[in-house]
Chains A and B, each alone.
Chain A
Amino acid sequence: MHLPAAARWTIWLASLGVLCGFAWTRLDVQHPINTNILSLLPGERESPVIAAATERSRDAFARQLLVLVSGEDTLQTRSAALAAQQALLAAGLHMDDSGRELGRLLNTYQTHHFALLNAAQTARLDKDGENAFATDVAVSMASPATMVNVFESDPGGYLNRFISELPRPYPDFLPDGPYLTAVRDHQRYYLVNMELRGSAFAEQGATLAAHAVRDAEAAVHKVCAGCKFQATGASLFTNAARDDAQHEIQWLTIVSTLLIMALIAFVFRSLAPHVLAALQLVASILAASAAVIACFGSIQILTLVFGTTLLGIAIDYAFLYFAEYWFGDSAPQSVMRVVRPGLFMGLLTGVVAFAFLLLAGFPALNQIAVFSVAGLLEAGLVVVLIFPVTLTQPSHVAVHPAVVWPQRFIKLACRPNRWRYLLPALALLLAIPGWLRLHTSDDVRDLQHFPQQLTQSDQQIRNTLGQIPPPGYFLIEASDLEQALGREETLFARLRQTLPDATLLGLSRFLPSVMQQRASLSAWKRIFASPPALDRAFTHLGLPVELATRIESEWRAAPHQPLSAQSLFDAAPDLKTFVIPAGSNVALLASVNSRADINPVALQQAAAAVSGVSFVAPLTRITDTFHRIRVRASWLVIIGYLLISALLVWRYGRREALRMLYPPLLALGVTLGALGWLNVPVNIFVVVALILILGLGRDYTVFLREGGARLQSSALAVTLSALTTLCSFGLLALSQIPALHAFGLATLIGILASYLSAPLSLPPTDGVLE
């Protein structure tokens, strides 16, 4: 391509500009980066109700910050809890401010109390009529359990019982002013329950929570030196995870960048490779991101993470060019012609391999495919268009031992002797037991790393509170609210039988179904249908007849309509949390809490037994998503590799192609064996590492095959590619974060094996090609 420099720059900048401009028009400005992992699941898009319910459930859990202050002395501990609360409020957290809402709610219940009998109470009144009612009135007057009449009018104490039976957030803790408190092992515990208004997963929210907790701990110890302070909440975990990740990424990035720069400087002894490699990488990432946004409107966080593997492959093309330009036999104007076969073949096979992921049907894999294909093409475009017009003067760097050594290694490895066959066979033999020990893990919890102290605190607080987070939630779908409430009541009735100690949370606990409310009103109607009979029942128990008359007049004045959802929501808007938008239908969110872990199978079975009810376990769904992505990606990589094999057969013939395919597969086998030996599970990050290993391994064989052992530039390019990959991704093996550690370890072993086995792609004739 004989284009002037200006034309090349124009074409390159214009193509990149058009792509970025088009992406800008398609960008979802509100959510440019999508962090919802569940949107990776294809089915999730078809069920916005589940997505909305999951988000609501997650937000409610994530915004909560629990602080537990404990000590031996009650008064001192209470003062310390007060100090903690004040510090948390001062730091910007929020506390229960539902007093007015509560008052409205209780008034609403009081107005409709005749409609709020439960099924057992209704049945009792239906069966024994006025005698049962008179007995209940007598008991409510006599029992110490209803010694104080909380409500002005509550004949029989039914409303008191309705309120008392509302689910309690922490069953073992009892109220004390603004706190909940309990005694455990001679220690007084005070719970301070705070809320974060912003997102717990955002940097601002997580930092605010962490600072607030630090201030609160200092305030507690200032008031009560002997008191114990514990805190937990998703925001604290987010903050710790972010701090850890930032710290690791910072030092890993600095170390790897310095190593790579030192390597490039040592080999090429020039600034130009740094500048051009940086230009190529920035352009690749920009084009890749723009292509994804142009296609999907936003970019998945997982795509960004996985897309970084692109950098490892894209820089290979730059090294191929640099090696030939600086140390090859070609004149600057001929460098492109010499490297073009290797560059194009590497590019073609890379694009084909990643394009195959488009067939996966998973949004995440589709994005990774688009990201990688666009990034690779851009990297190639920069090499083809820009490098030839920037590296125009002959290089004056003399060949030094570091340049010659890679070629010597290739030649040595290509000598026809038995070690050429024995060593790979031995490596594979050693790998076989590792394969047998290999296991997989798609549990997202295994990918994270949190400080032990934080995890222990969380465990202790949950145990002390007697509340273990449920494994998921129930989604009750129906054509209208009444049907949904009825289904929820049926579900809860089943759960009470199978999980008697569990606390059931759902709208039906606050709003009985209209059917139940009508039954309640009917029972009362029958009671008051015969005033003389009611009077006799009261008289029989020694209760004044005037009391019966008064209750009867209250009944006549009361609304004989069921309490509506709208009235309830008007009184307590927070209860709308239970209702999920579901188009023309209605969906309710319900949950179950317990003192111990609940077997999700029992919850799934309970849900399956009631029409329209499903049990959704978000963590399991994420795990399933990762599993499906991992399995499908693995198959697509295999199929893609077969397609590349066909390309290599077309280009190099069957025999040569087979020889070129063998080293990457050998590296893959060795890597998997080593992971098995090291007991590192195969997760989605490892699969991405394997894609990288296959991609780079294939590039090495193509570059060597095109250049053969006769070209020191090919050997140097392959060596530099391997070394830089080891310096960047291989260093991640030192990470404490399991996901990064697994990725880094797999890459380290795989790239090492790929590099060492790359000479096997050349014939055993001192690397001289026929």
Chain B
Amino acid sequence: MKYTRILTGAWLLCAAFAVYAAGNIPSLPTGFDSSFVQTRTLPGFNLPLVSRGTLHIDNTHGFRWEITSPYHYVFVMNGDNAQEQLPDGTIRHLNPEQTPWLAAVEHIFVSALAGDRTDLQQYFVVIVTQLPKGQRILLTPKPGPMANAINNILVTESAPGHPQRLIIKENSGGSMDIRFGPESRTASGS
């Protein structure tokens, strides 16, 4: 039916990364536990929005994203279950199928940690630059809906499998810059 084309197209744009959802995410050899500073720049808005928090990923507990400043916000996803705790304390359950970025974010981190970039190469032009410690990986979306929203993604490692910085540049002019703290460390995989 014609409208299914619209549906597919609209959803493709929003779910550009969703291809990495459940079933496609590699297992983590180790976990990831780090503080971070997130700087968000909105198009046409000079003042960057800065927040701080922690990120914890492991194969048992899944993905936990916690903002501690300037407000408290927690996002947890494990398998098909996802929920968030809002700054006012409200708990909200999310439908992962309708929040495709969840799986995307999880996958980017997990792929980087697992050292598995085969999947990434299907959807991005991947340019890897060797650094004294680790690598810098530039992901440029291949033509398609993802390229409509994302200009590029830059992941810098502090050591192999240890992301130090993640920058997402949007076509709208906005950007997301996440710097992981120096205390970044690996944890047990399970």
Which positions in A face B, CB cutoff 8 Å? Answer: 60-61, 64, 74-75, 78, 96, 98-99, 101-102, 105-106, 128, 131, 135, 138-139, 141-152, 160-161, 163-169, 171, 174-178, 180-184, 193, 505, 510, 541-544, 546-547, 550, 572, 574-575, 577-578
Contacts and interface: CB of A to CB of B under 8 A. Distances in A.
A572 B7 CA distance: 11
A454 B63 CA distance: 43
A164 B98 CA distance: 5
Given A164-B98, A177-B144, A544-B49, 4 more contacts: A142-B38, A144-B75, A148-B176, A171-B97
A215 B165 CA distance: 48
B170 A175 contact: no
Contact of A145 (B12, B13, B40, B94): B94
B19 A175 contact: yes
A182 B24 CA distance: 8
Nearest to A136: B86
A138 B84 CA distance: 12
A601 B143 CA distance: 46
B81 to A, nearest CB: 14
Contact of B150 (A148, A169, A175): A148
Contact of A163 (B4, B10, B49, B73): B10
Contact of B75 (A98, A145, A166): A145
B88 interface: yes
Interface of B is mostly: mixed
Given A147-B101, A175-B15, A575-B3, A106 B38 contact: no
B21 to A, nearest CB: 5
Given A135-B88, A541-B87, A544-B49, A181 B19 contact: yes
Contact of B19 (A148, A168, A174, A574): A174
Contacts of A543: 49, 70
B84 A143 contact: yes
A183 B119 CA distance: 13
A109 B78 CA distance: 32
Given A138-B87, A143-B84, A168-B7, A148 B168 contact: yes
Contacts of B172: 149-152
A196 to B, nearest CB: 12
Given A139-B73, A181-B19, A96 B14 contact: no
Contacts of B19: 174-176, 181
A106 B10 CA distance: 8
B70 A542 contact: yes
B86 A574 contact: no
B29 interface: no
B88 A131 contact: yes
Contacts of A182: 23
A164 B15 contact: yes
Interface in B97-112: 97-102, 104-105
A141 B142 contact: no
Interface residues of B, number: 69
Contact of A166 (B10, B23, B143): B10
Interface string B63-94: 10101011101010000001010111000001
26 contacts: A60-B1, A74-B119, A78-B122, A96-B8, A96-B9, A99-B9, A101-B9, A102-B9, A128-B88, A139-B87, A145-B99, A148-B101, A150-B170, A150-B172, A152-B43, A152-B172, A164-B14, A166-B10, A174-B15, A174-B21, A175-B19, A177-B123, A183-B23, A183-B24, A542-B69, A577-B1
Given A135-B87, A151-B172, A541-B87, A64 B10 contact: no
B43 to A, nearest CB: 5
Contacts of B16: 148, 175
A547 B50 CA distance: 13
A385 to B, nearest CB: 56
A181 B150 CA distance: 21
B132 interface: no
A719 B16 CA distance: 75
B49 A175 contact: no
Interface string B162-175: 00000010101110
Can you list the 6 inter-chain pairs with the closest CB atoms, starting with the nearest? A542-B70, A60-B1, A102-B9, A574-B2, A183-B23, A169-B4
Nearest to B4: A169
Contacts of A142: 38, 51, 53, 67, 71, 73, 75
Contacts of B6: 98, 101-102, 105, 510, 572, 574-575
Given A138-B73, A144-B75, A150 B149 contact: yes
A182 B98 CA distance: 16
Contacts of A145: 75, 82, 84, 94, 99, 101-102, 105
B42 interface: yes
A164 B45 contact: no
A146 to B, nearest CB: 7
Nearest to A180: B8
Contact of B12 (A175, A193, A510): A175
Nearest to B15: A175
B14 to A, nearest CB: 5
B174 A546 contact: no
A133 to B, nearest CB: 12
Nearest to B174: A149
